[in-house]
Amino acid sequence: MSKKINILLVGWHPNAVDYNKWPGLTHEKLQAALDADKNTFESLGYATELGLIQSEQTAETLLLSLLQEKPRDCVLIGAGVRTDAAYLSLFERLINTVHEHAPNAKICFNSGPFDSLEAVQRWAP
């Protein structure tokens, strides 16, 4: 890759997840998946940053801050935010924040913490 593609992976911080909603997922498994994603992306030449949400109340501020730091080519919003009906409003706010503050960024979605590479590569090969 000649120019590094800037990827932002947005999802719940492992300390903020209600694991009762995700049978089989643990803090350790999620942390390992996030670390593996970051390492995999970087080994493939992507510039990758994790935007880990601590709470619904701080999520938009965190995302806005990360989007203002530098241009993003692709923003992934994780399944933990996107697929849980309790977070529908948060998901909408995050999408609109990306739309407003990174209008040229591709937006992608994974189906869980183990297929982020495939999700990003659909839009940022």
Is the pLDDT at 7 greater than 70, yes or no? yes
pLDDT digits (tens, 9 = 90+) for 51-95: 999 999 999 999 999 999 999 999 999 999 999 999 999 999 999
CB environment 32-44: b (16+ within 10 A), e (fewer): ebbeebbeebeee
Number of structural domains, the chain? 1
Distance (Å, rounded) from C-alpha 59 to C-alpha 27?
A: 19
Q: Is residue 113 part of a domain?
A: no
Instruction: Check residue 112 and give its pLDDT.
Output: 85
Q: Retrieve residue 83's tokens.
A: 């697929």
Is the pLDDT at 125 greater than 90, yes or no? no
Q: Is residue 34 part of a domain?
A: yes
Q: Is residue 124 part of a domain?
A: no
Q: Which domain holds residue 26?
A: 6-105
Q: Is residue 76 part of a domain?
A: yes
Calculate what percentage of the chain has a pLDDT beyond 90: 93
Residue 46: CB atoms within 10 A of its CB come to 21
| CATH number of the domain to which 33 belongs | 3.40.50.2300
Is the pLDDT at 1 greater than 70, yes or no? no
Instruction: Check residue 3 and give its pLDDT.
Output: 82
Name the pairing type of β-strands 47-53 and 106-109: unpaired
